[in-house]
Amino acid sequence: MSRRLLGVAMATTLAVTLTGCGSGGTSTSTDDALEIWIRQAPDSDSAKTAQKLAEAFTQASGVQTRVVALLDDFETKLQQQAAQRDLPDIVINDTAQIGNMQTQGWLTEVDRASIAGADKLSEVAWKAATAGDGKTWAVPFSAQAFAIIARKDWREKVGMEVPQTWEELTELAKAFTEQDPDGNGENDTSGFVIPASTKRGYASWYASSFIYGNGGDFVAPSGSGTFTATMNDPKSVEAVQYLQNQFCETKTVNPGAVNNDTAVTHEVFEKGQGGIYLTGPYVLARFVDSIGTDNIEVYPVPKGPSGGPGTLGEGENVYLMAGSANPDGQKKFAEFAASAEGQRIGMNKDANGAIVRLPVNSEVDMAAERQDPRWQVFQDAYANAVYAHPVPNWAPIRQTTADAINAVWADCAKDVKAEMDALNTKLTQELQNQKAS
């Protein structure tokens, strides 16, 4: 069978497999509830916020719900559910996962014109709900950009200003590493805390804000839905080199960073082992509680010497999963989650546990919902945020990139330009495999 016909046959088989999937397919009252999966730790504050959202939806619509909060191996468990012909009805998941989920036939296409309140949602967010085929496969739910959460008390202790350039950021990191900013008389602090592991592509995820902030990119559109790999572009190389310098020359990164994911890195920052954390707004309330509001400040990520549009932009969509026995309930939940009421519940004001980081609904005034002005730094950054390109499947691009970037951070003998050349070759092959080259 030709590759093209084989692909059609596989897609047809998958579509048949997913018919009848979804939690609504059985007869008991419990299983008739709309099953909602969200990538959050069970019993966490964020999971509790998701439960509040689901309960408010049930009260408004009469549709019963069941929230399932999962953090570890989220995609693997979705794969298992698909294999068992038992996908949940709703998945709230990262925007960058749209290609991975859509190409496996897990999603139901969304008719944007039929979604109540669609015109109130951000065009940028709608774009992030569009896959590489140009079709809409989700309803926007949450957005975020990135900024630096840093130890204000440490910066004042070393007598430095908020950094405006990469060079100044390096100098602040060196001061945090060398000048005992916590005053305990020990050489036990670092400048940067970085989730630099390859798990879920974290090294690439972290580096992206420096790459975008220097005018670089992983891939670039080349017309007609195709893309060209650009990780060996001088601007991208310069960003990766800057970060390798922090690991290898100035040695301003927390020990063990190349093996750490975000869960560990959050704790590293909270324990006072480092003072500069480029991250999203979802941990601001947590750090305010654990470190103290007067000790924390938020400022923009300085642009690189070659300039650039801004930091990584991302968020979460509400995905309507294929095969649900309750498509009307799916649509109603998506509309409620994106409504002003649903967005306010998800924002959770200034408290920990926000599942809506930045609202995507124009009727929501963030300043009225959140009193902490530090949120505004993230909101301002979103105006110039850069989303991952809508290639058919971004996941392998992020993972391949993370493997290469992690390697040059972990091994100081590696030449960044040579490694990025090799990475570019791999990305070109991946684009070809996805028929997006």
Please report, rounded to a whole number, the percentage of residues in the chain having pLDDT higher than 90: 85
Is residue 350 over pLDDT 80?
Answer: yes
Q: Residues 81-114: pLDDT tens digits?
A: 999 999 999 999 999 899 889 989 999 999 999 9
pLDDT-based confidence at residue 31 (cuts at 50, 70, 90): low
Q: What is the enclosing helix (H) or strand (E) of 143?
A: strand 139-144
Beta pairing class for 190-192 and 274-279:
parallel
Chain mean pLDDT for the chain = 92
Q: What is the pLDDT of residue 311?
A: 94
| CATH number of this structure's domain 3-143+314-379, picked from the four choices 3.30.365.10, 3.40.190.10, 3.40.710.10, 3.30.70.20 | 3.40.190.10
Per domain, the residue ranges of the chain are 3-143+314-379, 147-312+394-433
pLDDT digits (tens, 9 = 90+) for 418-431: 999 999 999 999 99
Same fold flag, 3-143+314-379 and 147-312+394-433: yes
Q: What percent of the chain has pLDDT over 70?
A: 93
User: CATH assignment of 147-312+394-433, given 3.20.20.370, 3.40.50.300, 3.40.190.10, 3.10.20.30?
Assistant: 3.40.190.10
* pTM as predicted: 0.85
Q: Mean pLDDT throughout 373-394?
A: 92
337 in Cβ contact with 141 (< 8 Å): yes
Query: What's the confidence (pLDDT) of residue 3?
Result: 34
What's the rounded mean pLDDT across residues 374-401? 93
pLDDT band at 225 (very low <50, low <70, confident <90, very high): confident
Taking residues 149-175, what's their average pLDDT? Answer: 98
Q: Are 437 and 226 in contact (CB under 8 A)?
A: yes
Label residue 308 by pLDDT band (50, 70, 90).
confident
pLDDT of res. 16: 35
Q: How confident is the model at residue 10 (pLDDT cuts 50, 70, 90)?
A: very low
Among residues 387, 405, 389, 393, which one has the least CA distance to residue 203?
405
